[in-house]
Structure 1
């Protein structure tokens, strides 16, 4: 089977309105679906059988494709807390941006924060910065293409080249 695209990632948030505003202000996301309440069998199925769950759900889309699904659980009402990247199942989301410095500024203005004080300059050109959304979800920002990002990785780690597999 061929996968046509990775179309969305779902993340937990503590306040769906605040998080929606953050992604819209920082990254020009747009509503695909405004917040709605979800419960019942469909949600239980998606949550691997967790009975009695209830959440608010919203979908945000980005100009060049891809989407982010935001889930704010009201039942179970466990607090959303940042988990260190070495402990969580999802380490980060990667966003290609036009201008790294502007993107970092917009993240901070929208309520996010930097992980590191300065933008890293990449060997392939451009820059990279790691930021956190208001709930502590980690986002890698880079202003080079994914192809160029991988070329830089191959330059640093030539043993990772799949065409030279043993």
Structure 2
């Protein structure tokens, strides 16, 4: 098997409108498409980051909770590369979002931080 690239990341949210606002207005992802799948009582929002990455945001009636701390078993976190962690933290604060204290990657010396999405999914910002 030869994997070529990551095609998309799928996220199930508990409050569709709240998460849609977070991923589009706070993180600035672009809407590619949006649909309501009546048979599943589910919204699907396709979001783009540049030309290479896509996030699919889903809503389902009464989805079960899942532990989502960065050190929990399962998907660890979703990470985005940015130019400045300090500037990004300032932007998050304008939206009432509190990020963890800035950490330094001991291998690369780069800054990074974590903050939660509306459902507590850990989002990492990693400085370029």
TM-score bucket (shorter structure):
0.7 to 0.9
Which stretch of structure 1 is more off in the superposition, 62-71 or 126-135?
62-71
Query: What stretches of structure 2 of length at least 5 have no aligned partner?
Result: none
Larger radius of gyration: 1
What's the Cα RMSD here? 2.3
Aligned counterpart, 2:90: 105
Counterpart selection for 1:128 from 100, 112, 120: 112
Corresponding residue number in structure 1 for 2:14:
14
Which of 133, 137, 160 is the aligned partner of 2:121? 137
Unaligned runs of 5+ in 1: 41-52, 145-166
Deviation of 1:105 (Å): 2.5
* TM-score between the two structures when normalised by the length of structure 2: 0.81
| Partner in structure 1 of residue 43 of structure 2 | 56
Deviation at residue 17 of structure 1 after TM alignment: 2.1
* CA pair 101-13 structure 1, distance change in 2 beyond 3 A: same
Structure with the largest fraction of strand:
2
Deviations 1:83-130 (A, max 9, x none): 44444521211111121112222234335432x2x2113342331001
- Number of equivalences: 127
Separation in structure 1 between the aligned mates of residue 16 and residue 37 of structure 2, nearest angstrom = 13
